[in-house]
């Protein structure tokens, strides 16, 4: 079994996936089941989830979600490297949770989903770059549910590396070998 440290270090954003090894609806349901049991502000439990694995739904997400917008010269995901599943996280306006708490719940649930996916050999990408109106229309979502985050999932087809910042920049980049490089601040720089 992986330690928490190894899970955290392996859990890197992935934007290129192996479409020949799809993540199943059953596995994604297990991920949501874990997330629903995590901490929730005031225990309001405002999150709702939509699991997408069907081809027509995945195609809708290709049109809607944008990956790696900071990497201007690369089209992500590449042709043939799309996610094989998505989980959309919604907040339920009728759950009675203040937005400030509900959005914290989104982060807790999303990290839980990605850590659990990593443990099973999958990878993912949290996507905040999507059109909420189109997403709600494409999937006939009731008005009370507001999409907050999309998690793309699948078998990773790229390698991610943690690096030291280059010239003080925290911008992620691709190296000459195509690895996804993610600069992280040093421990002494985050302790105050």
Residue-range domain boundaries for the chain: 4-158, 161-192
pLDDT one-digit tens code per residue, 26-43: 999 999 999 999 999 999
Does residue 11 contact residue 148 with C-beta atoms inside 8 Å?
A: no
Contact criterion met (CB below 8 Å) for 135 and 84:
no
The two domains 4-158 and 161-192 share their CATH topology (first three levels equal):
no
**Residue 50 · residue 90 · CB < 8 Å:** yes
**In this structure, how many other beta carbons lie within 10 angstroms of the beta carbon of residue 190?**
8
Average pLDDT score over the chain: 94
On whether the CB atoms of residues 180 and 15 are closer than 8 A, the answer is yes
Residue with the bigger pLDDT between 37 and 67: it is: 37
Lowest mean pLDDT among 24-28, 49-53, 56-60, 172-176: 172-176
Give me the helices (H) in 1-151, please. Answer: 4-10, 25-36, 55-64, 99-119, 132-138
Q: How many residues does the chain have?
A: 192
Decide if pLDDT at 1 tops 80. Answer: no
Q: Quote the pTM value.
A: 0.95
Task: Please state the rounded mean pLDDT for residues 84-92.
Answer: 98
pLDDT of residue 47: 98
pLDDT tens by residue, 143-169:
999 999 999 999 999 999 999 998 889
Reported as a single tens digit per residue, the pLDDT across 105-141 is 999 999 999 999 999 999 999 999 999 999 999 999 9
How do strand 180-183 and strand 47-52 relate by DSSP bridges? unpaired
- What fold, for 161-192? putative fmn-dependent nitroreductase like fold (2.20.180)
pLDDT at residue 84 in the model: 98
Collect all residues with Cβ–Cβ distance below 8 Å to 5 and sequence separation of at least 6: none
DSSP H stretches of helix in 37-164: 55-64, 99-119, 132-138
For residue 18, the model assigns a pLDDT of: 97
User: Do 97 and 46 form a contact (C-beta atoms < 8 A)?
Assistant: yes
> Mean pLDDT across the stretch 83-107?
95
Tokens found for residue 64: 């809607």
| The CATH number, out of the four listed (3.40.50.300, 3.40.109.10, 3.90.78.10, 1.10.10.10), of the domain defined by the range 4-158 | 3.40.109.10
């Amino acid at each position: 079994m992986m330690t928490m440290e190894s899970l955290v270090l392996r859990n890197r954003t992935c934007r290129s996936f192996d479409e020949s090894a799809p993540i199943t609806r059953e596995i994604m349901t297990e991920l949501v089941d874990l997330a629903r049991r995590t901490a929730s502000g005031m225990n309001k439990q405002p999150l709702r989830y939509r699991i997408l694995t069907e081809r027509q739904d995945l195609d809708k997400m290709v049109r809607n979600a944008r990956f790696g917008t900071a990497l201007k010269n690369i089209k992500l995901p590449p042709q043939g490297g799309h996610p094989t599943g998505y989980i959309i996280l919604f907040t339920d306006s009728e759950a009675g949770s203040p937005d400030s708490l509900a959005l914290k719940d989104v982060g807790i649930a999303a990290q839980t989903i990605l850590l659990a996916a990593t443990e099973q050999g999958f990878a993912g990408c949290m996507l905040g770059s999507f059109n909420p109106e189109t997403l709600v229309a494409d999937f006939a979502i009731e008005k009370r549910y507001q999409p907050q985050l999309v998690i793309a999932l699948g078998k990773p087809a790229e390698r991610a590396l943690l690096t030291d910042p280059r010239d003080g920049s925290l911008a992620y980049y691709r190296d000459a070998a195509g690895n996804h490089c993610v600069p992280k601040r040093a421990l002494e720089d985050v302790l105050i």
